[in-house]
Structure 1
């Protein structure tokens, strides 16, 4: 009873401190995000703008981790490491020389071989092209526990969401932000697990945010002060890879907002929660605008690769640098 009262009081205090931060004012949120984007002034060294990890990639699915990784780089991260199965590694390497590919996910000692790399990373994406093999899920479950121990911000998408729906305790007790990015079907699975969206919001951990993707993007959180929705931009084209572009983009923005939120005018008691919501908003706006631009040129034949080519122009229009 005392613990429940304390949590309620803390939540009330947090809501007061960050009230109106996520008030669905586009210009207000864009300003906060822009204040967090590192300047290209020559003062930083390689790696400071972000070292992102992507855990995913299997024999059948090699495009998804590529899209997540290359979008993180295109948004502005310096380095991206992809941890995939042996069968996927050579294929992913052939897509881009910029990605650092580790064929370790199906190694006999996968957890011990991958986990030392995690200490170098600013944010990790789990799920793109992961597949649903039991052996892989067992390894990823252990990796999530290590990510929690290392306090690394985490984005979970695609088959990673299937794992979390089956095993939600994996994301309990995180002190760093966790962002789940379900589409309509994936969100329904989560809803069914928790018996409805209202109960889902109530049962989320303090540092967990759900970004429901769709014609309208929506944030679900235990704290209504960081919730927003947006349907600006985008198109009716639903080709594969768009969600992967979004997850990689979120990871880069998440690192920036966490590192630089103190440079904004925001005064909050929970930088992690606010930073996660801002990162989702930034990535959604960027991907929607890239989608809209690519669709205006390619129409029905638009592919995710066409969207990637629009990231730079969309970024400049939104954030100015």
Structure 2
């Protein structure tokens, strides 16, 4: 209850100081969306990485990768275990799949690809094997050095709960996307005020709530969506955030708001808001058609319609 009160007060503050009501936030997001003209080259609209995918869980990294592409990124790379690779490839030829996560020299083989990526999602379908977690921990250190924005979800959050110092003092944005139960675990280990200036928590639920060390960037969102809570929606959200994260960071200088002290956290806040309203809109549209039968795959088909309705493009 205390967290909710802080969020509501902070949301009122940002609206009062910067006129950051939902319409204004959407207008700021529009500024950051790259135009579909002939001036850009392949990769410029986003090269997204997803680290996840194991024997049991192959759908999650697919959902994260394909949603990043459907929103508008140009390329999506999936770094998974070798046993998951062929299955993930079979879902879509659009994904670039690297079966490297369980290799003996996994870090050395994955590391060169990071120089090409604009943002990275860690966790979808990762599993909880501690040998894999050791590799992920080393990769996070590399990501920290290279100052790449990261979104951490699912089993990636379990690792952060066990080793919270992995995300401490990042120079690039770190976005954690826990559900209610994951948030309860995290809140016992992590305080955004002490983890560094660039850690944002997006708490998913009936109300999506953004928690930030900068109160002017927090908000709460309850519009859209439905009562259908099928698996895979969080993966769609993380991939969508990754694309918007690249767009907002690349164009943040176009946004002119007085007295903003941290453009990276503004970009993180806008990215999460953009992704939340889009995924909720997809859920709403798919539910009207499918009802109780709605699946995450049904939501993917509505990404274009939802995007066009929200952003007029």
| Range into which the TM-score falls when normalised by the shorter chain | over 0.9
Change (3 A) 1:214 1:18: closer
Q: In structure 2, what is the equivalent of residue 269 of structure 1?
A: 261
Q: In structure 2, what is the equivalent of residue 132 of structure 1?
A: 128
Q: In structure 2, what is the equivalent of residue 218 of structure 1?
A: 209
- CA positional deviation for 1:263: 1.5
Deviations 1:129-162 (A, max 9, x none): 0000010000000000000000000000000000
CA contact (8 A) 2:192 2:199 kept: no
Matched, 1:280 2:282: no
Distance in 1 (CA, whole Å) between partners of 2:14 and 2:280 is: 30
Q: In structure 1, what is the equivalent of residue 17 of structure 2?
A: 20
Range with greater deviation from structure 2 (256-265 or 60-69): 256-265
Secondary structure at the aligned position of 2:237 is classed as: helix
Matched, 1:233 2:224: yes
Matched, 1:162 2:168: no
Change (3 A) 1:18 1:318: closer
Change (3 A) 1:17 1:302: closer
Count of aligned positions: 300
Secondary structure at the aligned position of 2:206 is classed as: coil
TM-score by length of 2: 0.93
Distance in 2 (CA, whole Å) between partners of 1:53 and 1:27 is: 30
Deviations 1:264-321 (A, max 9, x none): 2334331101000000000000000000000000000000000000000000010111
TM-score by length of 1: 0.91
Matched, 1:290 2:287: no
Counterpart of 1:107 (choices 103, 107, 110) is 103
CA contact (8 A) 1:22 1:228 kept: no
- CA positional deviation for 1:192: 2.4
CA contact (8 A) 1:204 1:221 kept: no
Q: In structure 1, what is the equivalent of residue 65 of structure 2?
A: 69
- For structure 2, list consecutive stretches of 5 or more residues without a partner in the other structure: 1-12
CA contact (8 A) 1:179 1:210 kept: yes
Counterpart of 2:197 (choices 183, 206, 214) is 206
Q: How does 1:280-319 map to 2 (within 5 A)?
A: 280-319=272-311
Change (3 A) 1:50 1:22: farther
CA contact (8 A) 1:35 1:264 kept: yes
